């Protein structure tokens, strides 16, 4: 036992030393950090984000005649761990930029962005404050933020008589975002709002909350529930209780396509206000088609909204590096401020003197496709809602002072 | 006062309670017998869910057969795990078994992710029980009621075995006075391994039963693990009757809390449990044993 | 014979006293060594990880005081840490980022909470105490999520500035690391003084058997209450350091998973020892970082490593250190 103990102890200590060491840095490739969710209930989101970045990297090819090396770190979906890993990416790997973060990681990195000093391009963060009152010169965003989605919700309600006459109810997790969604619905004129309920963050049994919606007589239920397994459980249980028979479910930011596939025919009971991306828009945009094909070739499934978004952020970054002619962080930031790029979610550029991309949202119901495409049998039929309508004012008017 | 709303919440509470009871009984048995705080209980619950789909889609059997087979697959695995990792350290302080089961939990969840990936799998309820049934004017999922009834029957069976069979007698003897029981010829080690295996089987059965409701994903057992711990301590360590009361206490508090207090429901649950323990530190039926 | 026995005792006591002095010197030497690392060319990210590890070590040591030395197992030790972080972070952002002031405010908040809660909680022992601690921490978690006007809910406290000491800003990196080493060393020394004092011996008696301790006249309630409050207060020191290092905090710092992590660190390293929590914290931080880098099945690897270490090394990693230490002393005398 003694010998075994010593051997294991030595091995253990060596592991620690090696882990603290890290690999030697090669000069050739440009390193780009990807900080995203690699475990837990939200892992499917992280998978999609990473897949989109990988596809865009392959599509773009070399940058400044150098290959791109993606350095992936797990954020554990936790603010404190995210800061540590971002520090690692910058200190240990000397990455030129960080991609792949969602609201939790982006908010955490905002506080230390001035220490990290690399451009952070997020494509999956909803919190409006990131590009409004808390904006920071290093942090860019390509997806539509929550308040833009709120505008698209208004548009959706105006265009859909069934929703105008419905009795609205909010069921969500207890995030500030959920309350924002609720208050935006309440703010729509002439809309009947019959109640709301917010569940604790680790809720897996939605029965009491569904009962509440029922008791209020809801015929439209908007669901700001955490994207990932929790949303899937909610919709499945709503279906179980027959709620989908008496009410239409409204998703505030759209459903990832893997979730749509799992829901199958149940997804046709869902309408999306402001999806961040819709692959079916390839019929109008060639870049979207190119991306969809590349994605399908690489990953064997359809590109969901997180993938289309993260791919777009990646293309913006590489274009900025090319325009700047270097990987110097300041130069990349300057380039990002002025470029306009054709991405899978349309022609993107960032708001002048701001950090929010002027990106469209996609409204519409989920339906069964006539014939499967890219492995998908259900998908969203989308109409774009342009940024000119969802983000009409200037960055400064929204509270962003860079 | 909306009586119907209260009724629906109570119904939800009773249904979840039956479920929680099934998981808590296993936890209580293992603790009462071997003083083992089994953090791997949630992982074993998840293993049950995955064993179910492995049997259903791998071999191609129906749900009910899968439900019977899944726990039977998990029991020997759990017994082997107990033999290899818990039995050798039985003499050590209790914190060591706590640590080992924590490590096992990580291992099992990680192992599940390795084999099946981290994606979620949806399982529709078996055909005759999909859909809703009318309960006093409320639409209620039929499958939840069926799962609750199955849980209650199995739990009753377990309690009956403990109370009325020779092996149950041995288990109760070891729980009461391990030294004396061993002196009277009860093989403690083998009994503990067997009970650990069966407790895992109960957790696995609960996981399989819950799969059509809560979806199958690697972390599916974590939530119910915390609830089960609350139940076991509230009911009184080592007391099975206590677990019965505790399970419904916790589930009703959670359901009614969810219906009336929304986001404060789990804080409400924790407050209520804390109050109960402060008033009665040994739990509802605890027999003076506190540690 | 009597004189031999007397001589033997005298030698043993002298050796014991010298060993104690040596332990104190060891702590100081260790701190000095750690402080020199950045100047010895150690990679900057390793320093970052070490800073985090030492903050966790402070937290784990505070847990060890309660659980290892006094025998009060807790599943809610995130409470003191998270509360300290929020109080210090909020004060630093809204009023002044002076480190000492922020720490004092954090401690005031913690004391005002820990004193009354501890008074009630310590009436319980064993599993009941452990579960009630969990309940308390979870209620704090919910308050952090719900009190949006102050804590900003699940989005968390953001934009906490860098700390200042006597007007000088402490930059994250070597400067902050040195501050952390200093504080961790002080906590370790302080704790050591505490456990070898008569107060500390009493804690040991309480851990072994509360009833017997009460029977010989020890005021068990008072001691447990003091330990409860001290443990939370020291955890709050860690929380304050962490909120400055991360420039913010979220309700997740109060969640049961965090309480589980610190428990793992302390037990893994070795409960009831001085260096155990430190070793445990360092191991945990470095191991988790190594395993979560591009390694998708890290949970499996973590679990395997964990189980093996627990099975093969009884009484935690520090058990090895203390055994080596003992061997050295036995060889000398």
Which domains, and CATH codes, for chain A? Answer: 28-144+279-359 (3.40.50.2300), 147-275 (3.40.50.2300)
Q: How many CB pairs under 8 A join A and B?
A: 96
Q: How many residues does chain B have?
A: 291
pLDDT at B32 over 60: yes
Residue C242 with chain A: CB contacts under 8 Å: 80
Whether chain C has a CB inside 8 Å of the CB on B223: the answer is: no
Contact A20 C154 (CB under 8 A): no
Instruction: Give tens-digit pLDDT for A150-179.
Output: 899 888 888 888 899 999 999 999 988 899
Query: What chain C residue is nearest to B96 in terms of C-alpha separation?
Result: C310
Task: For residue B141, give the CATH number of its domain.
Answer: 1.10.3470
Give percent of chain C with pLDDT exceeding 70.
93
| Residue range A174-204, pLDDT digits in tens | 988 899 889 988 888 888 999 999 999 888 8
Best to test chain C binding among B228, B267, B268 (most C CBs inside 10 Å) = B267
Interface of C with B in 167-196 (CB under 8 A): none
Nearest to B101 by CA among C256, C280, C303: C303
Q: What is the pLDDT of residues C184-230, one digit of tens each?
A: 999 999 999 999 899 999 999 998 888 898 899 889 999 999 999 99
Query: Closest-CA residue in chain A for B121?
Result: A262
* Neighboring chain B residues of C271 at a CB cutoff of 8 Å: 95
d(CA A91, CA A114): 14
Q: Do B263 and A174 touch (CB under 8 A)?
A: yes
Residue C219 sits at the chain A interface (C-beta within 8 Å): no
Return the exposure string of B225-264: e unless at least 16 CB atoms fall within 10 Å of the residue's CB, then b: bbbbbbbbbbbbbbbbebbbbbbbbbbbbbbbbbbbbbbb
Instruction: Give contacts of C 227-256 with A, CB under 8 A.
Output: 242, 245-250, 252-253
Burial of C161 (0-12, 13-18, 19+ CB in 10 A): middle
Band (pLDDT 50/70/90 cuts) for residue B281 is confident
CB of B72 less than 8 A from some CB of A:
no
Query: Mean pLDDT, to the nearest integer, of A290-319?
Result: 96
Closest residue of chain B to C125, computed from CA coordinates: B290
What percent of chain A lies above the pLDDT cut of 90? Answer: 70
Q: Hey, are the CB atoms on B8 and A198 less than 8 Å from each other?
A: no
Please give the average per-residue pLDDT across C270-293, as a whole number. Answer: 88
Chain C 7-46, residues with CB within 8 Å of chain A CB atoms: 43-46
Residue of A16, A74, A83 with shortest CB distance to C246? A83
- C-alpha dihedral over C71, C73, C79, C81, to 10 degrees? 60
Question: Could you give the CA distance from residue B267 to residue B257 in angstroms, rounded to a whole number?
Answer: 9
The rounded Cα C85 to chain-centroid distance in angstroms is: 14
Nearest neighbour of A111 by CB, restricted to C142, C160, C289: C160
**Cα angle for residues A48, A53, A55 (degrees, 5° grid):** 95
| Mean pLDDT to the nearest integer, A219-238 | 91
Report ipTM for this prediction. 0.88
Domain-embedded: residue B156: yes
CB burial of B11-44 (b: ≥16 within 10 Å; e: otherwise) equals bbbbbbbbbbbbbbbbbbbbbbbbbbbbbbbbbb
pLDDT for B227: 92
- Give the containing element (helix H, strand E) for C125: none
CB-count exposure of residue C30 (10 Å: 0-12, 13-18, 19+): middle
Mean pLDDT value of segment A8-29: 53
pLDDT tens string B132-146: 888 888 889 999 999
Q: How far is CA A386 from the centre of its chain?
A: 18
d(CA A211, CA A219): 13
Residue B172, number of CB atoms within 10 A of its CB: 17
pLDDT at A368 over 90: yes
C6 pLDDT more than 90: no
Whether the CB of B107 is below 8 Å from some CB of chain C: the reply is yes
Q: What is the pLDDT of residue C293?
A: 78
Task: Label residue A143 by pLDDT band (50, 70, 90).
Answer: very high
Best to test chain A binding among C92, C159, C248 (most A CBs inside 10 Å): C248
From start to end of B122-177, where are the E strands?
132-135, 138-141
* Predicted local confidence at residue A376, as pLDDT: 93
The residue of chain B with its CA nearest to that of C72 is: B291
Which positions 279-298 of C are in contact with A (Cβ < 8 Å)? 282-283, 286-287, 289-290, 292-294, 296, 298
pTM of this structure = 0.89
A211/B122 touch (CB, cutoff 8 Å), yes or no: no
Picking from A135, A146, A163, A281, the residue whose alpha carbon sits closest to that of residue A227 is: A146
Query: How far apart are alpha carbons B110 and B103 in whole angstroms?
Result: 10
| Residues 6 or more apart whose Cβ sits within 8 Å of residue C178 | C35, C38
- Please give the Cα distance from A309 to A87 (Å, whole number): 24
Percent of chain B with pLDDT over 90: 46
Name the band, by pLDDT with cuts 50, 70 and 90, for residue B287. low
Q: Which of A309, A334, A332, A337 is nearest to A322 (CA)?
A: A332
On whether any CB of chain A is under 8 Å from the CB of C149, the answer is no
Q: Which of A43, A211, A242 sits opposite B12 (nearest CB)?
A: A211
Interface residue B8 vs chain A (CB under 8 A): yes
Average pLDDT for B191-200: 91
Report residue B76 as tokens.
Answer: 């020997």
- Is the residue at B51 inside a domain? yes
Q: Quote the pLDDT of residue C322.
A: 65
Q: How many domains does chain B have?
A: 1
Does the beta carbon of C152 lie under 8 angstroms from any beta carbon of chain A? yes
Minimal-distance CA residue of chain B relative to C134: B270
A75 CB-near residues (< 8 Å, 6+ apart): A35, A36, A37, A38, A81, A82, A85, A101, A104, A105
Q: Is A367 left (phi over 0), alpha (psi -120 to 50) or beta?
A: beta
- Residue A19: pLDDT band with limits 50, 70, 90: very low
Q: Which domain holds residue B197?
A: 3-118+125-279
From chain A, which residues contact B within 8 Å (Cβ)? 39-41, 43-44, 47, 174, 197-200, 202-205, 207-209, 211-212, 214-215, 229, 232-233, 236-237, 240-242, 258, 262-263
Supply the CATH number for residue C298's domain.
Answer: 1.10.3470
Inspect the interface and report whether the beta carbons of A44 and B120 lie closer than 8 Å. yes
Residue B248 pLDDT grade (very low, low, confident, very high; cuts 50, 70, 90): very high
Touching check for C307 and chain A: CB below 8 Å? no
Q: Does residue B288 form part of some domain?
A: no
**The domain containing residue C87 runs over which residues?**
2-332
Within an 8 Å CB–CB cutoff, is residue B139 touching chain A? yes
Site from C299, C301, C314 to mutate, B interface, most B CB atoms within 10 angstroms: C299
Q: What angle do CA C77, A41, A73 make, to 5 degrees?
A: 80
Per-residue model confidence (pLDDT) at position B291: 44
Which chain C residues are closer than 8 Å to A110 by Cβ? Answer: 158-159
Measured CA to CA, the distance from residue A199 to residue A234 in angstroms comes to 11
Asked whether the predicted pLDDT for residue C88 surpasses 50, the reply is yes
Average pLDDT of span B160-183: 84
Range with top average pLDDT, A4-13, B267-276, C82-91: C82-91
Cβ of residue B144 closer than 8 Å to a chain A Cβ: yes
pLDDT band at C4 (very low <50, low <70, confident <90, very high): confident
* Cα nearest neighbour of A266 on chain B: B124
Tokens of A167: 């009795």
Residue B2 and residue A215 in contact, taking contact as beta carbons nearer than 8 Å = yes
Chains with ≥3 CB–CB distances under 8 Å to C? A, B
Give the pLDDT confidence score for residue A4 in this predicted structure. 53
Q: How far apart are CA B104 and CA C238, in angstroms?
A: 29
Q: How confident is the model at residue B290 (pLDDT cuts 50, 70, 90)?
A: very low
Note whether C81 and C242 are within 8 A (CB).
Answer: yes
Domain count, chain C: 1
End-to-end CA distance of chain A: 63
User: Is residue C46 classed as helix, strand or coil in its secondary structure?
Assistant: helix
Q: Tell me if B285 is assigned to some domain.
A: no
φ/ψ of B140, rounded to 5, equals: -130, 135
Does residue B163 belong to any structural domain of this protein? yes
pLDDT of residue A26: 42
In a domain, residue B39? The reply is yes
Q: Do B258 and A208 touch (CB under 8 A)?
A: yes
For residue B287, being part of any structural domain is answered with: no
CB pairs A-C closer than 8 Å: 126
Q: Count CA atoms closer than 13 A to A379's CA, side-chain side.
A: 24
Nearest-CA distance A229 → chain B (Å): 7
Is-contact B271 C135, C-beta < 8 A? yes
In which band, very low, low, confident or very high, does the pLDDT at C92 lie, cut at 50, 70 and 90? very high
Could you read off the pLDDT of B37-82 as tens digits, one per residue?
888 999 999 999 999 999 998 888 888 999 999 999 999 999 999 9
Residue B290 falls inside a structural domain:
no
Q: Which residues of A touch B259 (CB under 8 A)?
A: 208-209, 211-212
Which of C127, C131, C264 has the CB atom closest to B291's CB atom? C127
């Amino acid at each position: 036992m003694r010998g075994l103990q010593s051997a294991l102890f030595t091995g253990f200590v060596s592991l620690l030393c090696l882990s603290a060491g890290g690999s030697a840095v090669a000069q050739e490739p440009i390193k780009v950090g990807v900080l995203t969710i690699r475990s837990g209930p939200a892992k499917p989101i992280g998978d999609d984000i990473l897949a989109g970045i990988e596809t865009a990297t392959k599509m773009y090819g070399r940058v400044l005649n150098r290959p791109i090396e993606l350095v992936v770190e797990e954020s554990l979906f936790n603010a404190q761990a995210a800061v540590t890993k971002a520090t690692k990416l910058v200190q240990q790997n000397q990455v030129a930029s960080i991609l792949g973060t969602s609201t939790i990681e982006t908010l955490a990195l905002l506080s230390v962005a001035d220490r990290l000093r690399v451009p952070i391009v997020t494509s999956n963060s909803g919190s409006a404050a990131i590009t409004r009152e808390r904006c920071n010169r290093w942090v860019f965003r390509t997806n539509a933020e929550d308040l833009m989605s709120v505008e698209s919700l208004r548009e959706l309600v105006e265009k859909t008589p069934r929703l105008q006459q419905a009795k609205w109810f909010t069921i969500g997790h207890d995030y500030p975002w959920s309350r924002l969604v609720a208050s935006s619905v309440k703010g729509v004129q002439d809309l009947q709002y019959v109640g709301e309920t917010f569940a604790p963050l680790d809720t897996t049994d939605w029965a009491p909350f569904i009962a509440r919606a029922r008791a209020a007589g809801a015929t439209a239920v908007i669901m700001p529930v955490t994207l990932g397994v929790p949303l899937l459980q909610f919709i499945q249980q709503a279906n179980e209780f027959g709620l989908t028979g008496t009410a239409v479910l409204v998703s505030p930011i759209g459903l990832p396509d893997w979730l749509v596939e799992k829901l199958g025919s149940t997804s046709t009971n869902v309408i999306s206000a402001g999806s961040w991306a819709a692959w079916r828009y390839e019929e109008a945009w060639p870049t979207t088609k190119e991306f969809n094909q590349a994605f399908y070739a690489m990953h064997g499934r359809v590109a969901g909204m997180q993938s289309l978004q993260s791919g777009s952020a990646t293309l913006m970054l590489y274009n900025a590096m090319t325009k700047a002619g270097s990987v110097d962080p300041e130069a990349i930031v300057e380039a990002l401020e002025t470029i306009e790029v054709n991405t899978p979610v349309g022609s993107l550029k960032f708001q002048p003197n701001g950090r929010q991309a002027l990106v469209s949202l996609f409204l519409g119901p989920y339906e069964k496709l006539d014939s499967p495409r890219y492995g998908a049998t259900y998908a969203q039929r989308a109409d774009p809602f342009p940024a000119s309508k969802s983000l009409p004012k200037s960055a400064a008017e929204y509270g962003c002072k860079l | 006062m909306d009586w119907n709303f209260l009724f629906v919440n109570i119904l939800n509470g009773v249904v979840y309670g039956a479920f929680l009871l099934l998981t808590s009984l296993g936890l209580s048995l293992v603790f009462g017998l071997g003083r083992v705080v089994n953090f791997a209980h949630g992982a074993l619950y998840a293993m049950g869910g995955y064993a179910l789909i492995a049997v259903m889609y791998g071999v191609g059997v129906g749900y009910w057969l899968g439900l019977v087979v899944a726990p039977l697959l998990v029991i020997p695995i759990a017994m082997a795990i107990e033999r290899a990792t818990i039995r050798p350290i039985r003499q050590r302080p209790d914190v060591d078994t706590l640590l080992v089961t924590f490590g096992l939990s990580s291992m099992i969840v990680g192992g599940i992710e390795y084999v099946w990936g981290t994606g979620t799998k949806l399982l529709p309820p078996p055909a005759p029980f999909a859909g809703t049934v009318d309960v006093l004017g409320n639409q209620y999922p039929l499958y939840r009621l069926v799962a609750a009834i199955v849980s209650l029957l199995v739990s009753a069976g377990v309690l009956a075995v403990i109370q009325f069979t020779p092996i149950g007698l041995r288990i109760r003897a070891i729980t009461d006075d391990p030294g004396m029981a061993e002196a009277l010829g009860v093989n403690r080690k083998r009994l503990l391994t067997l009970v650990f295996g069966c407790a895992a089987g109960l957790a696995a059965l609960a996981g399989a039963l819950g799969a059509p409701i809560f979806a199958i994903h690697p972390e599916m057992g974590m939530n119910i693990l915390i609830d089960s711990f609350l139940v076991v301590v509230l009911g009184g360590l080592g007391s099975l009757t206590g677990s019965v009361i505790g399970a419904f206490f916790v589930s009703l508090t959670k359901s009614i809390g969810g219906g009336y207090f929304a986001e404060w429901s789990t804080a409400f649950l924790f407050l209520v449990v804390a109050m109960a323990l402060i008033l009665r530190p040994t739990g509802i039926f605890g027999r003076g044993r506190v540690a | 014979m009597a004189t031999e026995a007397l001589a033997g005792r005298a030698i043993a006591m002298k050796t014991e006293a010298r060993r104690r002095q040596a332990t104190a010197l060891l702590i100081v030497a260790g701190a000095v060594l750690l402080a020199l690392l950045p100047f010895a060319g150690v990679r900057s990210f390793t320093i970052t990880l070490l800073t985090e590890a030492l903050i966790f070590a402070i937290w784990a040591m505070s847990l060890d005081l309660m659980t290892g030395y006094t025998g009060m197992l807790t599943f809610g030790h995130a409470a003191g840490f998270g509360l300290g972080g929020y109080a210090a972070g909020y004060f630093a952002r809204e009023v002044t980022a002076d480190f000492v002031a922020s720490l004092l405010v954090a401690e005031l908040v913690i004391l005002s909470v820990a004193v009354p809660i501890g008074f009630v909680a310590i009436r319980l022992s064993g599993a009941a105490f452990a579960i009630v601690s969990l309940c308390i921490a979870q209620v704090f978690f919910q308050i952090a999520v719900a009190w949006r006007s102050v804590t900003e809910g699940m989005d968390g406290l953001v934009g906490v500035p860098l700390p200042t000491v006597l007007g000088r800003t402490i930059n994250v990196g070597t400067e902050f690391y040195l501050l952390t080493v200093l504080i961790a060393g002080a906590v370790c020394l302080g704790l050591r003084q505490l456990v070898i004092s008569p107060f500390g011996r009493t804690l040991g008696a309480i851990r072994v058997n509360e009833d017997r301790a009460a029977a010989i006249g020890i005021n068990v309630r008072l001691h447990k209450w003091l330990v409860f409050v001290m443990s939370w207060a020291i955890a709050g020191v860690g929380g304050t350091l962490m909120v400055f290092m991360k420039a913010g905090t979220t309700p997740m710092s109060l969640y049961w998973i965090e309480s589980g992590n610190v428990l793992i660190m302390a037990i893994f390293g070795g409960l009831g020892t001085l260096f155990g929590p430190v070793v445990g914290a360092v191991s945990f931080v470095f191991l988790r970082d190594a395993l979560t880098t591009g390694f998708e099945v890290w949970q499996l690897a973590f679990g395997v490593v964990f189980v093996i270490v627990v099975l093969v090394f009884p009484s935690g990693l520090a058990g090895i250190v203390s055994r080596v230490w003992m061997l050295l002393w036995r060889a000398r005398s």
